[in-house]
A and B are shown apart, each in its own frame.
Chain A
Amino acid sequence: MGLAKRIIPCLDVRDGRVVKGVRFVDIRDAGDPVEVARRYDKEGADEITFLDITASSDNRDTIVHVVEAVASEVFIPLTVGGGIRKVGDIRCMLNAGADKVGINTAAVSNPELVKEASDAVGAQCIVVAIDAKQASKEGEPKCWEIFTHGGRKPTGIDAIEWAIRMQDYGAGEILLTSMDRDGTKTGFDLDLTRAVCEAVNIPVIASGGVGNLQHLADGVSIGGADAVLAASIFHFAEYSVGEAKKFMADQGIEVRL
């Protein structure tokens, strides 16, 4: 027995409320973040990730209040991402009670931020989020390009090289999302997951595409991920976190039950 593979439900938060939606379309209110987080904690979630999708910069501090409220009642690790631009933003989230902060777009536009942040608050607090899309054509050796701005902007940067660079800059963990799979419910991009997991020595969280429990298990046993993240299968109560863990345990994957 040893270190457990982690299951991480992800909550999209807008203007201080949890929202449900598919690919940012048909977004509906899904409740109070504290209540949802408490439920996931009770079901056995190993961590919770909040993705702030607040559109207006006027309401950016609502996520800080969400983190404060959740961290006062839910005692498992919390990660916050979305709109992080500078070390001050990271400190603000950590002071509110977050344990880790996800950086995506800002890491690409200013990679030194990752170095600076890692030196300032410790690598264990810095999660670099990578949104990757397959760039190779059929029959070519596979490669992936990273995108920023919620997957809208191509960068020309190779995902594997980027993951290694971010590790060297002091990232403590990688949150890897396949843009091709996100929202499709067809499972993780396992080739991408495996390629990144093999390239770096820091933990990798697989994300994007989970539609059933087998997908979660595959992310670990085939993709080699240290943790798996999913949003919709848990939000829409198709499966509970507890069911996911039991399923993975039955397949011989070590989880915290």
Chain B
Amino acid sequence: MSLVAVIDYGMGNLRSVAKALEHVNSKVRVKVTADAADISAADHIVFPGQGAMGPAMSALCERGLDEILLREMGHKPFLGVCLGLQVMMESSEENGGTQGLGLLPGQVKRFPDPHTGPEGGERLKVPHMGWNECHQVQAHPLWEGIDQDSRFYFVHSYYVTTDDPDEIAGSCDYGLNFVAAACRENMFAVQFHPEKSAQAGLKLLENFLGWDGQRD
């Protein structure tokens, strides 16, 4: 039975992620864990998280998870979710400037306050909370069976931006265009919460559990 490690570094409740993974594939064993042995033994790694980037990086480093992840994520199918995506970036403006793991090229920025649409029209609320469209900008095994521009559930006040278009898998508009999904080799990471995004989200998780980490 293949093992899915959901990394627990004390940043929010992981029960929903674990339940959703179990729901889409009854043949996998899902373990919420911070244990190096579990992570090494896992076939798939899910890296969730919510809250702030500074405490998240501190929590990872305190547990020695940053090094374990950098070692293990080299080849295994790896899915970052929400703060998990942001932590994979190079740096964030949050908490007075925070270094990320640097696994993907990009920066994490805060939505401006006040935030308006590009034409300066309607004022946009922060956090960006609710169902927005994710535009798939490149084909990827994780998009399989998910309609173009499907809506996913987002909740965040910081967003990811990158100069490297090759690593953008999906984009979203909320006053500005930001990275809704990023990918590189065996890594895929999303700003939205697939575990809270009804059918589209469950399909993405199902695709992830069936993914071998290869691109084609």
Contact of A256 among B15, B131, B155, B196 (CB under 8 A): B131
| Bound CA span A127–B158, Å | 19
Is B198 within 8 A of A76, CB to CB? Answer: yes
Residue A203, interface by CB 8 Å: yes
| Bound CA span A71–B15, Å | 9
| Bound CA span A77–B13, Å | 13
Chain A CB count within 10 A is highest, among B113, B114, B156, B198, for B198
Query: Which of B73-81, B98-106, B121-129, B207-215 is near enough to bind chain A?
Result: B121-129
Given contacts A2-B132, A75-B195, A173-B129, contact A256 B151 (CB under 8 A): yes
CB distance from A172 to the nearest CB of B (A): 6
Main secondary structure of the interface of B (DSSP, over half): mixed
Given contacts A1-B133, A172-B129, A256-B151, contact A201 B123 (CB under 8 A): yes
Q: What band does the interface of chain B fall in when counting residues whose beta carbon is under 8 Å from A?
A: 35 or more
Given contacts A75-B197, A94-B13, contact A227 B127 (CB under 8 A): no
Q: Which B residues are CB-close (under 8 A) to A122?
A: 12, 50-52
Is B149 within 8 A of A1, CB to CB? Answer: yes
Residue A182, interface by CB 8 Å: no
Interface 0/1 of B110-153, CB less than 8 Å to A: 00011001000001111111111100000000000000010101
Residues of A within 8 A of B (CB): 1-6, 41, 46, 71-73, 75-77, 94-97, 99, 121-125, 172-173, 201-203, 226-227, 256
Residues of B within 8 A of A (CB): 12-13, 15-16, 19-20, 23, 50-52, 113-114, 117, 123-133, 149, 151, 153-157, 173-174, 193, 195-198, 201-202
The 7 A-B pairs at the shortest CB distance, nearest first, are namely A256-B131, A122-B51, A4-B131, A94-B13, A256-B151, A124-B155, A3-B132
